[in-house]
Structure 1
Amino acid sequence: MGTLLQQIVNGICLGSVYALIAIGYTMVYGIIKLINFAHCDIYMVGAFLGYFAATVLGFGFIPCLIFSMVSCAILGMLIERIAYKPLRNSPNVTLLITTMGMELILQNFVKADFIAGPNTRNFPEVIPLISYKIGTVTISNLQIIALAITIILCIGLQYLVNRTRTGRAMRATSYDRDAAALMGININKVISLTFALGSALAATAGVLVGMLYPRLEPAMGVMPGLKSFVAAVLGGIGIIPGAMFGGIAMGLIETLSKVYISSGLSDAIAFSILIIILIVKPTGLFGKKNNVKV
């Protein structure tokens, strides 16, 4: 029982990271119906920016986090403006291929010797590790911080989307972009803001992963990015609470399957969930069926 509780705690902490990345996927899809596969490498860039802020600039945890979030927010807006905006009215497959190309550009740019190089880097200890024993469960202060930051950001994002004028503009754009433009909403501004927010959340996940699992490499975003995409689909892509739920669920499934089934099969199990969801309920657990009139 003690081992099970410990794995549940570990799974929730890992899932909180997946949730932050999944929310970025789901926000962009909700606004412009685009699966931004470059998002997983913005998460990687965020981790390396946190590493740079800690080792070169000498920042502590909070300044590292803010530096990474702001930098990746700007990067996300630049990518949208330069690579995606000119193709906004193109076929969806064109945009999808463009996101894959941008993913490779970011990955290979960071891999260049004059940036970070191909070798693994160890994230510095920006917060001293402290472990707490609660019965049979051991939890660290880093896990508590990661989970608390995820919850705070998700609540703040929900408030922004549902209770503010900016959020109303985002929801209107998501529902009908052309009608929103006719009502005076600046569509380009809303889309840029969406990319900025999603990229800032991915950067947060990058710094938290660097803090929890201190090994950074240019390809580190690929597998977490794919699992976060599965999490977004599981919860219902385009739905923020669904992405949060899907991320936690994916973290639990991965952790428990490694311990109780097979560590070699945990990734296969994760992607099997994607196939099952697409077959059984393509809109995800929180999604609603849309009837299209033809």
Structure 2
Amino acid sequence: MRKNKNKIPVNTMDNTFRLGISIDKNSIKKSDFKTSNQEEEATQAHRDEGYTFHILEQGEVTIEIDFQTYCISSPAVVYLHPDQVHKMLDIDDIIVCTMSISNANLNEGYLKILEDLSPTAPLSLSREDSLTISSIFLLCLKFYRQKESKMYFPLLKDSCNTLIGFLLSQFLIIKKLEDNFSRFDKVAKTFRKLLEKNYCTLKRPGEYAALLHISTSYLNECVKESTGYSVSYLIQDRIILEAKRLLYHTDKSVKEIAFELGYSDYPYFTRLFSKVTGISAITFRRKNHD
């Protein structure tokens, strides 16, 4: 039986998160979940309050991130943006290092890269890189536990940013560097940033083109060339992703969700959902909760 909930749960980590940083290292076995309640709590879908990295040092885990399932073997790292909804589906005796950090404590350049990376798939690591990451993480964890030190927070913050910098260097190896972006890529990238901030209020390609001070046709050309999709498709895709999150992870009515996503015309929203997904919003909810 699902618990009634009107919003997606947010993992606020522990009390130290009032400083904007939380760090932990855990060994987790499937046998640790002795009751159904323990298993339900461990596998509950949620968002994290900060920018979060899960560094898998040992074992295997299956996770779901925004309806995409990933089977991950160590060594690997999972990066999660605060907007992303995720849950653990299965584990096989894992050792995982976790760090969550607020945007206020992130190096400004790193924050920009993290926003650009999202969403990104989990990253497999070489043994050499895994050892380097483990060493830096242990330093972060050491500073995290030395709360009585006069230099506690500066040391913690700087060491965490060092770890993030190294992790980002690994993610960027498989990403196209911005210096090599074409004009089309740069326009498409800026559009995606605007879309992430405005998808609830701006629904038309022309509104985004106006913000970019370019024509709608040129915006479509750039986005199509860079991503393979039209501007309208990406707008609808982002809206439907949020609708799916709310349908699956909350008990809000379809009408409430439509309103939250900026649609006062409820029938139009239901038609849009059916057109994009091939099923109605109600069917999606029932199908995924069976």
TM-score by length of 2: 0.26
Higher relative contact order (CA 8 A, sep 6+): 1
- Say which structure is richer in helix: 1
- Say which structure is richer in strand: 2
